Amino acid sequence: MEERETVARDLGLKLRVLEAANPDALEAAFATMARENAPAVMVLPDVMFTTERRAIVAQAARHRLPAVYFDRQFLDVGGLMFYGASLTHMYRRAAVYVDKILKGARPADLPIEQPTTFELVVNLRTARTLGLKIPAGFLQRADQVIE
């Protein structure tokens, strides 16, 4: 497990990056976070993480670590929170591109787009299990709240 540290000076936070290159390294990474009293975890995009989402959510629950995930699928297996690009919106934009290509546009001539619509989903069941009280104002900003 490769470790790197950085400081988010503007927010007054200390960020610690723990890399888990394979499923066996996940448990060690979560044990390190628990031992060092990490206040929360942010799981970044990785194919292995998506595949191992049940194990990751279970480790976060076992160590009572609030976690924010990059994919909505993590909440389907008990994850706490998702914040990321709206897949629905991105699929709609992809359909526009397909339409243009089918009408003769050259793919190389189409501009690259960045996501512009993001979603926030909160799982209140998991929050209660972790003993977290999510502020009402935050829940009002969520696109979806799982009861």
**Spatial separation of the C-alpha atoms in residues 128 and 61, rounded to whole Å:** 11
User: What residues contact 102, with CB distance under 8 A and at least 6 apart?
Assistant: none
| Confidence at residue 2, expressed as pLDDT on a 0 to 100 scale | 47
* pTM for this prediction: 0.81
Q: What pLDDT tens digit does each residue of the chain (147 aa) get?
A: 445 555 566 667 778 889 899 999 999 999 999 999 999 999 999 999 999 999 999 999 999 999 999 999 999 999 999 999 998 999 999 999 999 999 999 999 999 999 999 999 999 999 999 999 999 999 999 999 998
| Confidence at residue 5, expressed as pLDDT on a 0 to 100 scale | 55
Counting DSSP H helices and E strands in the chain, the numbers are 7, 7
| Confidence at residue 6, expressed as pLDDT on a 0 to 100 scale | 57
* Greatest Cα-to-Cα distance within the chain, rounded to the nearest angstrom: 58
| Confidence at residue 50, expressed as pLDDT on a 0 to 100 scale | 94
Q: With residue 5 as reference, give the H or E element that holds it.
A: strand 3-8
Q: What is the pLDDT of residues 95-129, one digit of tens each?
A: 999 999 999 999 999 999 999 999 999 999 999 99
| Confidence at residue 12, expressed as pLDDT on a 0 to 100 scale | 72
Structure tokens at 38: 């990490």
Helix (H, G, I), strand (E, B) or coil at 135: coil
| Confidence at residue 47, expressed as pLDDT on a 0 to 100 scale | 93
Amino acid in the structure at residue 94? A
Structure tokens at 57: 């959510």
Per-domain boundaries in the chain: 3-84+118-146
Q: Which CATH architecture has domain 3-84+118-146?
A: 3-Layer(aba) Sandwich (3.40)
Q: How far is CA 33 from the centre of its chain?
A: 17
> Smallest Cα–Cα separation from 18: which of 38, 33, 3?
3
Sign of CA dihedral 46, 69, 58, 16: positive
